[in-house]
Amino acid sequence: MTVLIMAGGRGERMRAAGAALPKPLVTVDGASLLERNLAAVLGAGLRDIVVAVPSHTPSIAAYVRGRGTQIAETFAAKLTIFEEIEPLGNIGAAAAVATGGRELLVVYADNLTALDLNAFVEHHRREDAVLTVAVHREPFRIPFGEVRLANGLIDAYIEKPERRILVASGLFVLGPSAIARVPRARTEVSWLVNELLAAKARVAAFLHDAAWIDVNDMAAAERAERLLVANRDAFGQAVPARAMRAIVEAPS
């Protein structure tokens, strides 16, 4: 199948936090976010890869043409660039990717996860879904004191409680009919999901508990390093040693 790695976005929070590099090229534990996602895709045996890059940040495209291509060639993989001249949102690039009628796996370069990509794709196929979303329970701390009432009286006062809610993990499998619904214009994945739901299409969820983090600023990059260290075995299974070795050995 074809893989689309989204390496765009303006990275404003990352820049505001003092990052000298575009977000996809920020290093986490010795490898950039983009490199780690590329290694995960290659480690899963996927060999047809498109990287969507923004025209306003040419250093990302330069990385893909140079170091990214060298890494892909180690696996005899095809790596191509789709340059967004105008921002296309977080899923609009899917309309421009030629998949030959196959599914499209979409991942985002600012996420890191130990999710088993092959299990994710197989779940999509078993469910005969038009689109499948990877989902997990993410903890959120409410920044206020929660008050519970009973018969007009306070029954409990909980200071800044933590809740775990289901969120999208930033990985999607689109079948051909889902891809066909993506317009060649700025499009968000939330719009696409709701369009498919309105059409009564089969949208599946792949519930997982794999290590996951969204890296949007330098504080999150530091948390990502701790996550990698704490989950070495899980990330080692998701990103085999050969894929990481290709990254380490690629010329700078």
Domain ranges of the chain: 2-135+166-249
- Give the amino acid at 53: V
pLDDT tens for residues 135-150?
999 999 999 999 999 9
In the predicted model, what is the mean pLDDT of residues 154-172?
97
Percent of residues, the chain, with pLDDT higher than 70 = 93
Which pLDDT score, from 0 to 100, does residue 252 have?
A: 64
- DSSP element (H, E) containing 36: helix 33-43
The whole-angstrom separation of Cα 107 and Cα 54 is 16
In tens, the pLDDT along 23-32 reads 999 999 889 9
Residues 6 or more apart whose Cβ sits within 8 Å of residue 93? 4, 6, 8, 50, 52, 82, 84
Average of per-residue pLDDT across 144-169:
96
Residue 162: pLDDT band with limits 50, 70, 90: very high
Does the pLDDT of residue 12 top 80, yes or no? no
Q: Which residues contact 203 (CB under 8 A, 6 or more apart)?
A: 129, 130, 131, 132, 133, 193, 196, 197
Second-level CATH architecture of 2-135+166-249: Alpha-Beta Complex (3.90)
DSSP helix/strand/coil, 180 = helix
